[in-house]
Chains A and B, each alone.
Chain A
Amino acid sequence: MPGVSQKEDHILLEGCLNNDRGIQKKLFEKYFAKMFRICLSYSGDRAEAKDILQEAFIKVFTGLDKFDSRGSLEGWIRRIVTNTAIDYFRQRKRLVYTATFPDEPEDDGNSGFLFQELNQDIILDYVRQLPDGARVIFNLFALDGLSHREIGKKLNISEGTSKSQYKRARGLLQKWLCEHEQDRQ
């Protein structure tokens, strides 16, 4: 029930704005799992994901007064998490968009395997192996639903670069997972 959730969010918000540490923890716990997954997807590394999440939630708590309560709190936190992740890589100068990948795959548009059957850590390991720039673009497109034009604007790259990086990241991930599946069989 979105109405109940929104009301609950408002109670949490008021408490957070009054610097009530208990309420802040409640808000954190409510959104932790969802946000942590996003961080994991952007980074592929649990320790790094925790760092990003921590940074993001500090921004959430210190910037809650800027949240327009008419909007969705989850959406607002999610945007902060995403932007914090991008900033995290940007600050470490890791957002490099390589023109070619070591073993560029063919994208047939068919995954040919089931994600659910694979070990989570193995998938995460492959996600982590993706170049940072390509991984961020893949997440922005596949996970956050941004268009290539929006991604280009956000990351200061051309639309074409965004498209090619996304395709290559997806293809590479697909290839690695297929190979893993074949080896396993």
Chain B
Amino acid sequence: MSNNAFDREYREWLQKLEVNKADSVWGGIEDQLDLIETWDRINTGLDRVQPQRRKIIPLPFLRIMEVAAAILILVMIPLFFLKHQNNTISTVAEQRIPETDSPGTVPVSPETATDPSSALTVSPAGGTAVSGEAIQFHDGTALPPGRTAGGIPETTESEKTDRVTDISRISGTAGMETIIAGLRETVTGDFTGLVASVIETTAPPKKSSGPFIRFQDAGLMYSYKNTWLLNYETRNGLNPSRLGNTLPTFHHDLGITSTIVFREKHDIGLEVLLMSETGQNYQQYINASFVNRKITLNYFKLQTWYMWNHRKIPGSTIAGVYFARLGMAEEIQGDLRFSVRDDYRNYDYGLVLGYRLDVPLFSNIVMYPGIRFNYNLMNIFEGHAGTMNIFKTTNNFTAGVNVTFAYSFR
């Protein structure tokens, strides 16, 4: 403050300056506030009729989602068709096996050979021969020449040709079930001896027996997500009549992940996120000027989920829970950066929901692209002694895309 005598006298004079009654100004303010309030109501009414077009989902996020979706489609479609092509070709080749002279044995599991409900029998694609040779099982037992694994007699030449024709008609999009159903119809009784091909489904086949627990894979996960701190300020920022805006906010997750299989039936995902960020960006009228305000919270997070593998569509749905511990919490207001660690609770827990695809890359490396939603179940904001109640509730929601590169132990 200036110490100049004139300035000091001026300030003192101003402090004693008489002012008119406040009412006239208040009238104007009241009118303005009424106008804003009325407009708010009209706006809300209009929203019900025609939802307001606001960029809640921002363009960059949509673009990233589009690119991710395009990559997924580009990867999945060829894989999907290639699989069906391979399956059809190898099945057809199997039907023609009696006509060829390929040496070797058909390693057919005795379990699957006697179980008509099991769709799959396994052998190297195309490298099989049945006719006139013994079928060798994994356990060393063998079927005599002239018998199929299912124990039925070899079929005649015309029957084989019919089967080939039938199978060739099945299009690639029909799915493995269609192929197998066709084979069931073609072959009366036990069909397992007819099918000896490499069939990989996106969902690994479930067995009723096996170890109680085993690690299926382990890898690194990265996620790019849109985050929302659901509180009074965020809601206010979405109201066009208020000063300030809630801005779309994006953060990252990084961690290690693993899939654990129980009793060869239940797939459980386990993830340790070393960095799991969330937060909200605003443009607010703070200290009488508009500044960009960024709240960033960084958690150490553990999440686990159950996976439902889909038979007909590729991928798995995941649903589970997470538990997180707050590491860092900071706020940036314009050029100022300060910690708000004390304002937020140390722990957080909530729900995880998502969908993931399994894309085998090469050897034992698998890519799991997917989408993930997180919603927390507790108030993460504590505030301080001076915080008004209206600001004291904050929930967190995130939605994003993620990719995992894992090593499969199978």
Contacts of B10 in A (CB 8 A): 115, 142-143, 173
Bound Cα distance A33, B17 (Å):
9
Bound Cα distance A123, B388 (Å):
43
From 47 to 100 in chain A, residues with beta carbon under 8 angstroms from any chain B beta carbon are: 50, 53-54, 57-59, 61-63, 65-66, 68-70, 76, 79-84
Q: Are B33 and A21 in contact (CB under 8 A)?
A: yes
Q: Which of B15, B22, B24, B28 has the most CB of A within 10 A?
A: B22
Q: Are A50 and B24 in contact (CB under 8 A)?
A: yes
Q: Are A65 and B386 in contact (CB under 8 A)?
A: no
Contacts of A5 in B (CB 8 A): none
Q: Are B14 and A41 in contact (CB under 8 A)?
A: yes
Q: Secondary structure at chain A's binding surface: helix, strand, loop or mixed?
A: helix
Select which of B6, B29, B289 is within 8 A of A57 by beta carbon.
Answer: B29
Contacts of A123 in B (CB 8 A): 13
From 21 to 43 in chain A, residues with beta carbon under 8 angstroms from any chain B beta carbon are: 21, 24-25, 28-29, 32-33, 36-38, 40-41
A116 within 8 A of B: yes
Give the distance to chain A from B168, nearest Cβ to Cβ, in Å.
69
Contacts of B9 in A (CB 8 A): 111, 114-115
Bound Cα distance A36, B1 (Å):
20
Residue of A nearest to B235 (CB): A65
Q: Are B233 and A142 in contact (CB under 8 A)?
A: no
Bound Cα distance A116, B10 (Å):
9
9 residue pairs A–B, Cβ–Cβ below 8 Å: A10-B386, A19-B37, A29-B26, A62-B241, A79-B288, A115-B10, A123-B13, A143-B11, A145-B2
A residues neighboring B (CB under 8 Å)? 6, 10, 13-14, 17-19, 21, 24-25, 28-29, 32-33, 36-38, 40-41, 46, 50, 53-54, 57-59, 61-63, 65-66, 68-70, 76, 79-84, 109-111, 114-116, 120, 123-124, 141-143, 145, 170, 173-174
B residues neighboring A (CB under 8 Å)? 1-2, 4-7, 9-20, 22, 24-26, 28-30, 32-33, 36-37, 232-233, 236, 241-244, 284-289, 384, 386-391
